[in-house]
Amino acid sequence: MADIMAAKIIGTGSYVPDQVITNDDLSEMVDTSDAWIRERTGIRARRITETGTADMAARAALKAMENAGISGDELDLIIVGTSTGDWLFPSTACEVQAAVGAGRAVCFDLSAACSGFLFSLNTAAVYLDSGAYRTALVVGADSLSKTVDWKDRSTCILFGDGAGAAVLRREESAAGTEKTRRGNSEDPAGPDSPGAPESLESGGIGPFFMGSDGNRSEYLTSPSTSLRNMFVEEKPTGYMAMNGQEVFKFAVKTVPEAIGHVLAQAGLAPDDIKYFVLHQANERIIASVAKRMKQPMEKFPVNLDRYGNTSGASIPILLDELNRKGMLRTGDRLVLSGFGAGLTWGASVVTWQASAGSI
């Protein structure tokens, strides 16, 4: 059998702004308290950008490239998962391209809200697996502080700004190793499922599952700048709106199902997973998923207490923290899973390979 190609994460990076807004700070702006916010969300503080999404994305990208030991001219593809670009156009990815010196890369943004990085990662992996490109930069970056009404307690307590990034490279596996196939499947356990791998031993990004439900789009919305400018005086609200109860119910049901789906595709059990790297929206959601998966909370790392919900940035920021703290070893199996507006959701299995610049 000929050598096959697999996309692997070879470096990570992240960036959060210096400006911190604590729960006590918010208590001076809206009717809330530190205890009230911590009890309901687990959040203690969040970071707010003074520059913008592209600047944060570029800073995270440069750190990921340094960790991977590559230069900008090695990048073939840049995908930025964001729903809060600084401009309608150009894309944030093109701004990142200029900042990192990736003159020959193909660049575009992908909008899937809090699922943005996960969708971007899976998209890049398919491009690399196909042989179209060899090296990709995937960034999740959002400035949700732009979209919230800071007088609305239901949303302003939840969100923060930040960016995380990963460098992917297509590597050839030894002859005789079957390729890990990817994608959604009606029968994830079936031998001919498009997501059922014959082997995950070579490492890399394994099976994934992604879902969308536009019929529930009204649960979490934020108007674009153009739509916001169209609002008449009687309806001046151009901010994020969220049905928190419905989003919570959606997340605690859908995330375990998505994780179960990709584990079945990979032929793995929850006990085989080192860490479940989940979107950092609410600590109660993470605890509920852990309970449903019958796994200890120690396998569900959390950093939302320090950053809040950073949307598409939350998964790559957390992944970079695990990497830089030396908590990941070659061969460790991870599950990445997220959910967001759209509604969108998904999960991916990753077999970790130590990066060139591992700490």
Strand partners, 4: 173
Catalytic residue, candidates 67, 282, 309, 323: 309
Q: How far is CA 345 from CA 28, 33, 66, 136, 200, in A?
A: 35, 31, 30, 22, 23
Identify the CA nearest to 333 among candidates 299, 306, 357: 299
Does residue 279 carry a catalytic annotation? Answer: yes
The Cα 195–Cα 178 span in angstroms is 13
The Cα 94–Cα 73 span in angstroms is 14
Q: Which helix (H) or strand (E) holds 338?
A: strand 333-340
Does residue 229 carry a catalytic annotation? Answer: no
CA 73 to chain centre: 25
Catalytic residue, candidates 67, 279, 282, 323: 279
Which distant-in-sequence residues (6+ apart) come within 8 Å of 213 by Cβ?
342, 343
Q: Do 279 and 339 meet the contact criterion of CB atoms below 8 Å apart?
A: yes
Catalytic residue, candidates 67, 114, 282, 323: 114
Beta pairing class for 77-81 and 135-143: parallel
Q: What is the largest CA-CA distance in the chain?
A: 68
φ, ψ of residue 241 in degrees (nearest 5): -130, 140
Q: Which helix (H) or strand (E) holds 253?
A: helix 244-266
Q: Do 28 and 60 meet the contact criterion of CB atoms below 8 Å apart?
A: no
Does residue 323 carry a catalytic annotation? Answer: no
The Cα 139–Cα 214 span in angstroms is 24
- DSSP annotation of 312 reads G
Identify the CA nearest to 4 among candidates 173, 130, 126, 124: 173
Exposure b/e, 165-175, CB count within 10 A at least 16 = b: bbbbbbbebee
Active site residue ranges: 114, 279, 309
